[in-house]
Structures are given as C-alpha cells and as structure tokens.
Amino acid sequence: MTTHRATTPHERLSPDESAALGKAVRARVPRSAHGDFEPSGTRTDPVDVIEKQSASRVQDLIPIRYGRMSESPFRFYRGAAAIMAGDLATTPDSGLRVQLCGDAHLLNFRLLASPERHLLFDINDFDETLPGPWEWDVKRLAASLVIAGRENGFSRAERATIVRAAVRSYRERMREYAAMRHLDVWYAKASAEQLRAVAAEQLPGRESRRLSAVMDKARTRDSLQAFEKLTEVVDGQRRIASVPPTLVRAADLLPAPERGRLEDTFHDLVSRYARSLSTDHARLLRQFTMVDMARKVVGVGSVGTRCWIILLLGRDGDDPLLLQAKEADESVLAPYAGASEYDSQGQRVVAGQRLMQAASDIFLGWERVHAPDGHDRDFYVRQLRDWKGIAQPSRQVPRTMRAFGEVCGGTLARAHARSGNRIAIASYLGRGDVFDRALARFAERYADLNEHDHQALLDSVAAGRVSARAA
C-alpha cells in the first residue's frame, strides 16, 4: 500500500488548512476502505515472525512465551504485535501521523497513579511506541475487542456494536480535542471519578459496583504491596523471594563470579539512569540503596526479554522502592514506519510514554548498559507497581465491554491528539459513522486471521518445531 507523505502539527497549518487536509485525504483514502482487509499473498509465516523475535531473547524463557501464546487466540494476539505490524503496513494509510502506542490492545489500557496520587485511566504499555499512522493503533484496539468478544461467546452483532462504540468514542473525542487549545489537550485526563460516573450511567448496578471495587483495589496495588508479596527476610536481610521460573533472584540464577558482574552492571545502571530523570526525582532516587535483584517473566509478547526487578531500601527495611528494568529493543513498527529518532531504544520508549500518557511514573527513565555477555543493551526503568488496575475481559458481558471499549477509544484519542494533527484527523473522520462501520468489518476479518495464526503456532508446537510450556 502506498504511504502518503506524513503530516505533523509542526508544519504549523492553520485550523482551516488542517481541516481541508483531512477532507482531502478522504479522496485518496476513503474511510470505508479501512474495512477492506485481506492478508498479503507474500505475507511472512507468522511462526517465523515470532521465532525471529525470540532469537535475541533469553532462550530458556522462550518456551514460556510460546506456552502463553498457545493458550487462546486472545493470548496469542497479545504476543503477536510484530505479526500485526506487518499486516497493518499493507492497509490503507491516511498519511496523518501521531505517536503510536504500537500495541494498543484492550489490556494495555488500565488504571494508574499520577505523581499527585490521583487514580487515572490511561495506556500503560509502550514497548513498541513509534510515530506512525494513527489508524494502526485504532485497528489494533478494534481487533482486540472482537477477539476478546469471540472468546466470551458474544454474537457477531454484539461484537460489531462494541467495536463501533469504541471507534465512535475515538472519533467524537478527537473532534472535541480538535476544537480545544493545545494546553487544554495537554492537561486532559480521565480520572477515576469520571470513570465511576460513566459506569453509573451506562452499566447495571452489579457491573458498576464491580468497577468501583476494581478501582478501590488498584489503590492497594502499590510498591509497598508488591514489597510484602515479592520479598522475604533471610538471615535478617530483606531479599526478593524466588518463585521459579517466573521470578528468580540473581543469586539463585548465576554462579558467584557472573552474579557479581551482573549486580555491578545494575548498580551502575541505577546510578546512571538517574540522569534521565528530573533533578528532584533523581535526588529522591539517590536516597535509596540497591540491595537485591531478580529476573522476572512479564506479560505475553515480552516473555524472553531481559527484565529485572531491583529492590532498593531507603531509611530502613520498611522504606522500599521496587523498580523494574526492562530491555528495550527496536519497535516492531520500525521496519514499516521508520526508525526511531532516538539512538537509545530505552529513550524511545520513555519519550513515547511521556508524550502519550497524561501523567507518567516519576521514576520512568532509561539507560544503556554494557552487559556481562559483552553486548550493549538498552533498558527503560519504572516503578514495578503503582496503583495499577487491569480489566478482566473474560468477566465482561457485552454491555460492559462496550462501555470499556468506549473509554479506551476516548483515551487513545487523547493520547494521539497530543502529538498529531488532531484537526486533520477529526476532519478526515467526520461526523458520520463510515469509519466506525469500516473498523467493525476490519476487526472481524483480522480476528479470523489471528485464529489462523494461533492454530499455526499450535501446529508448530505439535510438530516439535517450537517448544511450549506453561508458567
């Protein structure tokens, strides 16, 4: 598919020029065309794509990744961002670019804490973030809703209603942001109180109460709760508790000489990554001392990347800070959307997150290390857990998933409006539901392909081509 010249707000088009641009794009890329999806005849084998990703990862963890992706089409989809990136590159391209999440499926929208200790709803995974066509994120969200809806046994009509509602929310919110001043867009956010109001209006009492319970629980899921759950006292010293194979202390993973070199590397990382923080947050970080570290298996698609939990203590053993240092590789979008402007992949992740999120973790930063194996590796660092709450799609009825999808769509619009030409995007989308209905068709077609890809992985496991195990 031919890619049209990218546009950004930095071209300083007037509002009228931006609106005219959006309407002009419709002639080149009709909104209805986004529903016409067929996989390319030269499409790369999906298992080949996954194996290529796995080649540079920790090899003893790869069977866990395949095991998790084998569990269901939805779990497969969560780990298949690289596969979908290649497919999205063949779809119609408006040429209007924004900072993309790159993996905007429904479980990457969740409750988070702001630095001011307010509970917000926002996007939370930016491993693949990169500038690119805004519609790629919307399509990944739409397909995830259909795939989750199929898993729940929703009818095709119910799934279409859910997708159209989510995309309509994106479209309508983008139109609202198009009329707002830059600073008003920048300060916009979705608070817990706003979510409660939406739930009370749209959901039956039982579902509304369940959402309130999730919000209340999210406030307890902080570093202190993680500290109590993931650590133990050994010989009077607080240490991370190994739970193999998903959480293993460095002391239990490596012999003394190698462990010592690794720990020195991460002591250095913690010290040097402070340069990527604001001066006040760097000063706060320096009040903590690193005492232990452990390798952690995270997510589905990220399994096999080098991810470490780092335990730091402040004034005493009851003053913890748990950081997560996660390896950052090139975005799966890069072969199709272009390389990052940043030399460090960790900086790419952090810059994208800070741009898209309404409020980011105060300890979010990056650093490059020269690892004991002789390779330079990029990492980004953040708090392990800070008031996080996540949806459970398997427990959602159609009405609940529809409401959740609407919130996700609106949140994605806000994130895109911060970096892209929101007036041109809103003008392109228009007031009607042409794009909404097109995305409902696209999502169903992509869900079919995802099921085919999932079966290809199952067949590869059965044939012994790849190994999978549960963990």
User: Dihedral (C-alpha) 352, 167, 35, 390: value to the nearest 10 degrees?
Assistant: 60
Q: What value, to the nearest 5°, has the Cα angle with vertex 450 and ends 6 and 159?
A: 85
Sign for the CA dihedral angle at 438, 444, 448, 449 comes to positive
pLDDT in tens, 357-373: 998 999 999 999 988 88
Q: Cα separations (Å) of 343 from 276, 282, 283, 351, 466?
A: 14, 22, 26, 12, 33
36 pLDDT higher than 90 = yes
- Closest Cα to residue 231, out of 289, 307, 313? 313
391 pLDDT higher than 90 = no
pLDDT of residue 2: 41
Residue 190: pLDDT band by 50, 70, 90 thresholds?
Answer: confident
207 pLDDT higher than 80 = no
Q: What is the mean pLDDT of the chain?
A: 91
CB 123 within 8 A of CB 411: yes
CB 302 within 8 A of CB 406: no
Sign for the CA dihedral angle at 218, 223, 227, 230 comes to positive
**Rounded-to-integer distance, Cα 336 and Cα 211, Å:** 38
Spell out the residues 6+ positions from residue 241 whose beta carbon is closer than 8 angstroms to its own: 230, 231, 232, 247, 249
pLDDT in tens, 285-315: 999 999 999 999 988 989 989 999 999 999 9
The whole-number average pLDDT for the span 165-170 is 97
4 pLDDT higher than 50 = no
The whole-number average pLDDT for the span 317-321 is 90
pLDDT in tens, 80-119: 999 999 999 999 999 999 999 999 999 999 888 777 777 8
3 pLDDT higher than 50 = no
